[in-house]
Amino acid sequence: MRIGQFLMWVALALLPMLAKDATAAERTLTLTFGDSVRRFTADDLLARPDAVAIAIPNDLSYRREMSYRAVPLLELIGADTLRGVATLEARASDGFVAQIPAEYVRQAAGGGAMAWIAIEDPADPWPTLPAKSISAGPFYLVWENPERSNIASEYWPYALVAIAGVADPVERWPQLAVDAALPDDAAERRGQGSFIRNCLPCHRLNGAGEGDVGPDLGQPMNVTEYMTPAGLKAVVRDPKSVRTWPGQQMPGFGNDQIPDAELDALVSFFAHVAGR
């Protein structure tokens, strides 16, 4: 047997094992805070004493009432561990990476929205998501009473694989910063917050960010250099009304998610970054 044929045979023999390992990795939730790295399987979390049944009346991803077995995120991370953490980087298996202010999770102790990690039982899988071929599992960050803390739609990551404690996005990526001389209520500064909240989970900007679902909106050209303000707003509201492409995943953001004034500020932020 030639060496090339032998190596091909070995590779084919290892494929099922590699696929099994990849599937196992996707069904593990990894928590990283400083030097501490903890990994949980669905069985690990379902066996915890604080795993309880919860009902989410208006589940953002399923668009209806859903019931889950879940553990409270604050208890899973630990209040002491979360103290001093600025941001929770929640990473999904599809390249979606939300930057969630850790304060929202801490607020649960004072009557704010309550963050939960919903766990899909392998023996009782969840239904598929609307217009998708997958469920929200194996892990899904959901919120009870999200209105108490004004939780953004992008702070409900499903197909969750990892959560890490990280620095504030502007501190990590200075290219997201606006001119320090701008007043606190400047449109560009408000647009910066909107971008980090709504766009950064899927898009990078001049290399800033971790999301890989959509293209970089600053490189090689800033989005305002090839799209009019009206066209950019239309893409945010209803992407398919402007253009379509294979594998398109971007949903539209309604006025309830990004009000008109905030959308104007977002466009101002893009133009500001292009000018800098």
Per-residue model confidence as pLDDT tens digits over 94-152: 999 999 999 999 999 899 999 999 999 999 999 999 989 999 999 999 999 999 999 99
Name the average pLDDT for the chain: 91
Per-residue model confidence as pLDDT tens digits over 16-49: 444 444 444 558 999 999 999 999 999 999 999 9
Query: Cα–Cα distance between 158 and 149 in angstroms, integer?
Result: 20
**Of all helices (H) and strands (E), which one includes residue 66?**
strand 64-72
DSSP calls for 257-273: TS-HHHHHHHHHHHHHH
pLDDT at 109: 86
Answer whether the bond into residue 138 is a cis peptide, omega within 30°: yes
What's the pLDDT band for 1 if we cut at 50, 70, 90? low
Residue 54 has pLDDT above 70, yes or no: yes
What's the pLDDT band for 10 if we cut at 50, 70, 90? very low
Per-residue model confidence as pLDDT tens digits over 234-251: 999 999 999 887 878 898
Phi, psi angle pair for 218, to nearest 5°: -120, -20
pLDDT at 246: 80
DSSP calls for 129-191: PTTSSS-S-SEEEEEESGGGTT--GGG---SEEEEEEE--HHHH-GGGPPPTTS-TT-HHHHH
Per-residue model confidence as pLDDT tens digits over 210-219: 998 999 999 9
pLDDT at 194: 97
What's the pLDDT band for 15 if we cut at 50, 70, 90? very low
Q: Mean of the pLDDT values across residues 178-202?
A: 96
What's the pLDDT band for 174 if we cut at 50, 70, 90? very high
